[in-house]
Structure 1
Amino acid sequence: MSDNNNQTGDSDKDNNDENNNSPYQPSLTSYSTILSNIFTSPAEAMQQVQENYNVLFPLFTLMSATVVVFAYYYFAVDYQWYIDHMVEISAGELSKSEQEEARAVFSMMSQTTMASITAITASIGVAIVFVIQSVYFVIVSNVTNDGFQFKQWMSFTAWSSLPSLLSYLAIMVYIFSSSNGQIAFETLNPLSLNDLFFGFDASKGAGKMLASIDLTKFWSMYIMIIGYQKWTGKSISTSATVVLIPFFGIYGIWTLFL
C-alpha cells in the first residue's frame, strides 16, 4: 500500500515537473476579434496581429469580397449600355474605326465572361498591391534594421486594408439601389472623394484621380501609422512619414500629369 502511494506520489511529481517545464503558450486571439478591433481599437488589433502574423485570413477575405463585388456589378449592369459607355469615354483617344473595333471586342464577350475575367483579375490585383506595399516596408526595414521580414509586412498591409470592406458594402448597396442598371464603373464607389465632395467627371483628369481615393483609404493609412508605431517603436511622426511616402508619391506624380 505504501509502495503504491509512493509510486502515485512520484507519478504526480513527474507530471507536475513536466507541466512546470512546459513553456506557457497563450491562446491566439480569434480572427473575428482582430477584425472587430480593426474598426474599434486599431492599436490593439495591430498588436494582436503580431501573435502569428496571419496573412491568409485578411487576404482571402479581401480577395473574396473583390470577386463578389465585381461579379455583382457586371451581372447587374445593363451590359449593352456598359459597352456603349466604355466606348464613349474612350472616344477622344480612338478614331471612329477603332471605336467600332472596341465595340466589337466588348460584344464578343458575354456578360458572364466579362464578369468572371474582371472579378478574378481585380482580386489578383489586390494581392499584387499588398505584395508591392510589403516590398516597400521590407526595404524600409533593411534601412532601419527593425528585424521585420516580408511575411510580417504582408500581414501588416492586409489587415490594415480591411476597412475597404466598408467601401465594398457601400458599392453593393449602390448597385442594388439602381433602378435601370446603367451604372458607370468609374462612379461605382459612393465613398470616393469625387462622389462625396467634388462631382467632377470621374472618367478623366482630376475626377478620375479623386474617384480612386475613398474615406476608407484614410482609415487604413491611420491604422498603418498606429501599427507601424506599435511594431517598431518609432515616433508617430516617423511612422506617419514612412506610411504616407508611397501615397503622396503616387498621387503627386499623378497630379503632375493632369
Structure 2
Amino acid sequence: MSNLQLASSILVDPRPAFAALDKSPRFWFPLLVPVAVQVAMTFWYFGVVDYPWLLDEVFGPAASQQANTPSKSLMMWSTVAALALGVPLLRVLEAAYFWLAGRLTNIQRPFRQWLALTCWSSFPYVLTVFLMVIPLVSHNAAKTTQDGLSLLSLNELVFHLPRDSRWHTLMSSITVLHPWLWWLTVLGVRVWSGRSWRFSMGLALLPMLVLYGAWVLLVLL
C-alpha cells in the first residue's frame, strides 16, 4: 500500500493496513503530516487572534498591559516548537514502551515497527486538526482561545468548564476520537502478536490507564 492507501485504510478498514505495515513498517508520513497541519493551524491562529484579548483570557484581566507578558511571536514560536518536538518525542516514547513490553511478553518486533504502530494508530487525530478551520473562519475567530479550536474535546462538546477549573486541562486534552485511537492501537497489537483481545487490550491500554489515572489523581489532590 502507498501512504495514502494506508491512511484511507486506517480510517475505514484498519486490519489490512496493519497487515501491510507488518510486512513493510513505515512511519514518516503519519508522523509528519499531523505535525505539519498543526503547525500550519498555529500560524493561522496567531495571524487572526486578538492577542491582547488572548493574554487577558490566559493570564487574567489587564495582563496585556503588563510588561512581563510574552510577546505574540514568542508564544507562537513556543507553540510551534512544542508541536514540532513534543509530538515526535511522544511517539518515540510510546514506541519504546511497546518495544520493551513486547520483549518482555515474547513479541519479537523491531523498534521501527512499534513506531509505525504508534504513528499510524494516532493518525486519525488529524481529523480534529482539520476541524480547527471552522472556528478560524468564523466571525468570532479573533476571540477564540487555543482550547476553543479543539471542537471535539470533551470540554468543548460536553462540560464547558472555565479555564480556572482544575478539570479544564484534562477535559480539553481528551477528544471523542481518543477511544478510536486506543482501539486502533489494540487492534494493531492483536494483528502483530496473534494474542487474545484481553492480552492486546492490556498491553495497549496500560500506558493510557497509568497516564490518565495519575492525572485524575493529581487533580483530585
Q: SS of the counterpart of 1:181?
A: helix
The runs of at least 4 aligned residues of structure 1 exceeding 4 Å deviation read none
Q: What is residue 165 of structure 1 aligned with on the other side? A: 126
Q: What is residue 4 of structure 2 aligned with on the other side? A: 32
Q: SS of the counterpart of 1:46?
A: helix
**Matches of residues 3-42 of structure 1 in structure 2 within 5 Å?**
29-42=1-14
Deviation at 1:59, TM superposition (A): 1.1
Residue 187 to residue 180, structure 1, CA distance change in 2 (3 Å): closer
Deviation at 1:204, TM superposition (A): 3.5
Q: What is residue 153 of structure 1 aligned with on the other side? A: 114
Matched, 1:120 2:81: yes
Confirm or deny: 8 A CA contact 1:75 1:112 kept in the other structure: no
Residue 178 to residue 122, structure 1, CA distance change in 2 (3 Å): farther
Confirm or deny: 8 A CA contact 2:56 2:64 kept in the other structure: no
Q: What is residue 69 of structure 2 aligned with on the other side? A: 106
Find the aligned partners of 1:191 and 1:203 in 2 and give their Cα distance: 20
Find the aligned partners of 1:50 and 1:33 in 2 and give their Cα distance: 15
Q: Please, what TM-score do these two structures have when normalized by structure 2?
A: 0.91
Query: RMSD over aligned Cα, in angstroms?
Result: 2.1
**Matches of residues 71-86 of structure 1 in structure 2 within 5 Å?**
71-86=43-58
Q: Rg: which structure is higher?
A: 1
Q: What is residue 244 of structure 1 aligned with on the other side? A: 205
Matched, 1:199 2:160: yes
* Number of equivalent positions: 219
TM-superposition CA deviations, 1:184-206 (whole Å, max 9, x none): 22332110112112222245412
Q: SS of the counterpart of 1:241?
A: helix
Find the aligned partners of 1:178 and 1:50 in 2 and give their Cα distance: 46
Confirm or deny: 8 A CA contact 2:42 2:76 kept in the other structure: yes
Residue 171 to residue 100, structure 1, CA distance change in 2 (3 Å): closer
Matched, 1:45 2:17: yes
Find the aligned partners of 2:105 and 2:74 in 1 and give their Cα distance: 47
Residue 182 to residue 100, structure 1, CA distance change in 2 (3 Å): closer
Deviates more, 1:243-252 or 1:200-209: 200-209
- Extract unaligned runs of 5+ from structure 1: 1-28
Confirm or deny: 8 A CA contact 2:53 2:64 kept in the other structure: no
